[in-house]
DNA sequence: TGCGTTGTTTCACC
DNA sequence: CGGTGAAACAACGC
């Protein structure tokens, strides 16, 4: 969203009112980009990069509760990310920690109710090394190589959900979207990765880019206090504990997998026979 | 008030 | 050394 709205504009003002937003930044002020033109926007995994014509790049991660709200000079507004602050209310909100103003009158409000997100300002040539240091795997928004995916799964015993959350394995999936991918692929989230059949594996490969595309289209899922407000039936399972499965009507269940809240349909997503036996044999559940 | 929340890192251990 | 699982951390709302 930011690309079409902001690229080509000059940043005329940038204020950060939460010191720790730039805590780990090489440069602790936005001064080096104020008065400069935004040349382009990039994304890798969940990291956004804004390249300015001063040779500096603003890099950011919104973590679990970051939000971008763009207000155009004509009053039109676009909001992406966390649902709080409510898009309809007035900005800045109590949770607004940075405001950017561009030369056409466009204003960007960055809010983060949990304050876990971060911004870093650094020379553009240093960005690649920073991104490399994160060790991201292949982009989930791009088609994955099914052979490499199969080989990787066969070597891992951890729950498939935990593996899909690993950004060095596939980059871009968070807790909500992993649950949605596994629902689309009809796989129990606790299934050991090496017990996922070839058919189900291919369903995962197909589902990942589709789920991420829908998440991006919606500009973030609306989940407030663990309760989803689905749009067009999405999210289908995450945040819908006790509500009927959109496919079979069975109440959605919530469990913990790898210490993460995990939603699934107990009818559509069953453990394979091998995993059930293994889990019964060790007395686990 | 302590627990839940998520993305990520760190830790002990095999 | 790498896979694993658990714990830690960030801050806040309920």
Q: Express each pLDDT in A177-202 by its tens digit.
A: 999 999 999 999 999 999 999 999 99
Using a pLDDT cut of 90, give the percent of chain A over it: 79
Find the nucleotide nearest A260 (Cα to C1′): B6
Q: How does residue A3 score in pLDDT terms, banded at 50, 70 and 90?
A: low
Pick the more confident residue, A280 or A24. A24
Q: How does residue A223 score in pLDDT terms, banded at 50, 70 and 90?
A: confident
Average pLDDT, chain A: 91
Instruction: Protein contacts on strand B: list nucleotides below 7 Å from a Cβ.
Output: 4-9
Is the distance between the Cβ of A256 and the closest atom of strand C smaller than 7 Å?
no
Pick the more confident residue, A87 or A161. A161
Is the distance between the Cβ of A117 and the closest atom of strand C smaller than 7 Å?
no
The highest-confidence range among A19-28, A221-230, A260-269, by mean pLDDT, is A260-269
Q: How does residue A4 score in pLDDT terms, banded at 50, 70 and 90?
A: confident
pLDDT of A17 reads 92
pLDDT of A224 reads 85
Distance (Å, whole) CA A103 – CA A12:
6
Find the nucleotide nearest A63 (Cα to C1′): B7
pLDDT of A231 reads 87
pLDDT of A277 reads 62
Distance (Å, whole) CA A278 – CA A247:
28
Protein CA at A241 to nucleotide C1' at B1, angstroms: 25
pLDDT of A15 reads 94
> Is pLDDT above 90 for A270?
yes
> Is pLDDT above 80 for A26?
yes
Distance (Å, whole) CA A189 – CA A173:
14
> Is pLDDT above 60 for A217?
yes
Pick the more confident residue, A38 or A226. A38
Protein CA at A254 to nucleotide C1' at B2, angstroms: 21
Token duo for residue A83: 């649902």
Is the distance between the Cβ of A83 and the closest atom of strand C smaller than 7 Å?
no
Is the distance between the Cβ of A261 and the closest atom of strand C smaller than 7 Å?
no
pLDDT of A12 reads 98
Distance (Å, whole) CA A175 – CA A95:
23
pLDDT of A249 reads 96
Find the nucleotide nearest A18 (Cα to C1′): C11
SS (H, E, C) chain A: CHHHHHCCCEEEEEEECCHHHHCCCCECCCHHHCCCEEEEEEEECCEEEEEECCCEEEEEECCCCEEEEEECCCCCEEEEECCCCCCCCCCCCCCEEEEEEECCCCEEEEEECCCCCEEEEEEHHHHHHHHHHCCCCCECCCCCCHHHHHHHHHCCCCEHHHHHHCCCCCECCCHHHHHHHHHHCCCCCCCEHHHCCHHHHHHHHHHHHHHHHHHHHCCCCCEECCEECCECCECCCCCCCCCECCCCCCECEEEEECCEEEEECCCCCCCCHHHHHHHHHCCCC
Using a pLDDT cut of 70, give the percent of chain A over it: 95
Q: Are A139 and A171 in contact (CB under 8 A)?
A: yes
Distance (Å, whole) CA A211 – CA A238:
12
pLDDT of A285 reads 38
Q: Express each pLDDT in A69-81 by its tens digit.
A: 999 999 899 999 9
> Is pLDDT above 80 for A1?
no
Q: Express each pLDDT in A137-173 by its tens digit.
A: 999 999 999 999 999 999 999 999 999 999 999 999 9
């Amino acid at each position: 969203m930011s690309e079409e709205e902001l690229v080509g504009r000059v940043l005329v003002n940038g204020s950060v009112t939460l010191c720790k937003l730039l805590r780990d930044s090489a440069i602790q002020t936005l001064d080096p980009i104020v008065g400069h033109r935004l040349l382009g926007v990039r994304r890798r995994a969940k990291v956004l990069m804004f390249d300015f014509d001063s040779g500096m790049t603003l890099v950011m991660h919104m973590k679990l509760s970051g939000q971008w709200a763009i207000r155009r000079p004509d009053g039109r507004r676009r909001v992406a990310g966390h649902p709080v602050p409510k898009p309809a209310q007035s900005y800045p909100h109590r949770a607004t920690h940075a405001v950017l103003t561009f030369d056409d009158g466009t204003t960007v409000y960055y809010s983060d109710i949990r304050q876990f997100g971060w911004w870093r300002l650094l020379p553009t040539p240093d960005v690649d090394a920073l991104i490399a240091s994160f060790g991201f795997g292949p982009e989930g928004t791009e088609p994955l190589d099914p052979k490499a995916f199969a080989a990787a799964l066969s070597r891992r015993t951890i729950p498939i959900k935990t593996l899909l959350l690993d950004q060095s394995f596939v980059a871009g999936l968070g807790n909500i979207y992993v649950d949605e991918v596994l629902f689309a692929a009809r796989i129990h989230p606790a299934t050991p990765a090496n017990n996922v059949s070839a058919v189900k594996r291919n369903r995962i490969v197909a589902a990942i880019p589709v789920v991420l595309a829908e998440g991006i289209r919606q500009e973030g899922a609306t989940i407030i206090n663990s309760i989803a407000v689905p749009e067009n039936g999405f999210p289908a399972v995450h945040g819908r504990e006790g509500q009927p499965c959109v496919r079979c009507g069975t109440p959605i269940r919530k469990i913990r997998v790898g210490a993460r809240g995990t939603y699934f349909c107990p009818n559509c997503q069953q453990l394979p026979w091998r995993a059930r036996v293994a889990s019964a044999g060790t007395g686990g559940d």
